Amino acid sequence: MILTSISDIISKYHSFFTRGLLYTILLAVLGTAGGFLLALPFLGIKTTKIDPIRDSKVSIFIKKVGIGFTNVYTTFFRGTPMMVQAMIFYYGMSLVIHNVTGNNYWWKPIIAGIIVIIINTSAYIIEILRGAVNAIDPGQMEAARSLGFSRKKALYLIIYPQAIKNALPSIGNEFIVNLKDSSVLSVIGIFDLFKATGSVVSTTADSVTPYIITAILYLTLTSITALLVKKLESKRHGGEMKNV
């Protein structure tokens, strides 16, 4: 019975699911890739060290402001629901743009949604990368400094590449989280998989089957990604284990 209704709904409404799926994947891909890129400058700020002997007063002040701002940023975006962030950002910007430019017809939910998921993801990836940097053996930095590399050069050439490589599985997990959590962005009217399912429900009056289909689609996406992440992890560990 359930199987026939599943195949019925799919054959009638597959375009809804396809379109929703595309938006969900788009949000997760852009959110994770963009979040990673946005996290990098913050990582630079978070991993600076204040040298009370050699830094000028101005640069100590700038570093302190930067670190403070980064802390507020990660605390806020990790401490509030993305759904709330999306509401504030979409409707807030809508008002601002209208007041400033006189019209806001180009301000679309999808643009707001992509920006929000990028910012939200970056806040998590900043913490992931900071942890990965802290986990690198301090001897790597000491060796670089002893050769004459500045702290900054040592970070860019030696520490960050290793930390980012080690953090890739965790960033993959962020992608999985984004696949699922992008569903909350439907609240501002993005036609993602969750929203698409809602449309099918309202036209079929069947409020269970479409969600079962959607659950299977989400599960497929996350399972494939989890498999890839696992492969990435075992490749990394496999490489290290051989040398122990």
Partner 1 sequence: MSNVILNIVNVRKSFGDHHVLKDINLEVHKSEVVTLIGSSGSGKTTLLRCLNLLNEPDSGHIYFFENDLMNPKTDLDKLRMSIGMVFQNFNLFNNKNVIDNCTLALIKLKGMNKEAAEEKAMHYLAKVGMANFAQANVARLSGGQKQRVAIARALCMEPEIMLFDEPTSALDPEMVGEVLEVIQALAKEGMTMVIVTHEMAFAKEVSDKILFMENGIILESGRPEEIFNRPKNERTRLFLKRFTQN
Q: What is the DSSP string of 185-244?
A: GGGGT---HHHHHHHHHHHH--SSHHHHHHHHHHHHHHHHHHHHHHHHHHHHHHHHHTT-
Q: How far is CA 127 from CA 122, 153, 194, in A?
A: 9, 21, 28
Site membership for partner 1, residue 107 (CB under 8 A): no
- Taking CB under 8 A as the rule, does residue 135 contact partner 1? no
Locus of tokens 């490589």: 165
Q: Does 238 bind partner 1 (CB under 8 A)?
A: no
Write out the binding residues for partner 1, residues 37-66 only, by CB under 8 A.
53-54
Nearer to partner 1, 63 or 145 (CB): 145
Near partner 1 by CB under 8 A, which window of 101-109, 146-154, 170-178, 208-216? 146-154
Task: Check binding of 219 to partner 1 (CB under 8 A).
Answer: no
Nearer to partner 1, 9 or 155 (CB): 155
Q: Does 14 bind partner 1 (CB under 8 A)?
A: no
How far, in Å, CA of 113 to CA of 119, rounded?
A: 10
Instruction: Count CB-CB contacts under 10 A for residue 50.
Output: 12
| Cα angle: 73, vertex 77, 81; to 5 degrees | 165
Out of 12, 14, 153, 237, the only residue in the binding site for partner 1 (CB under 8 A) is 153
Is 236 one of the binding residues for partner 1 (CB under 8 A)?
no
Shortest Å, Cβ 100 to partner 1 = 46
Whichever of 150 and 234 has its CB closer to partner 1, that residue is 150
Give the phi and the psi of residue 65 in degrees, each rounded to 5: -65, -45
Q: Tell me: does residue 11 bind partner 1 (CB under 8 A).
A: no
- Does 89 participate in binding partner 1 (rule CB under 8 A)? no
Token look-up 């036209």 returns: 203
Which parts of this chain interact with partner 1 (CB under 8 A)? 53-54, 137, 139-140, 142-150, 153, 157-158, 161-162, 165, 239-240, 242-243
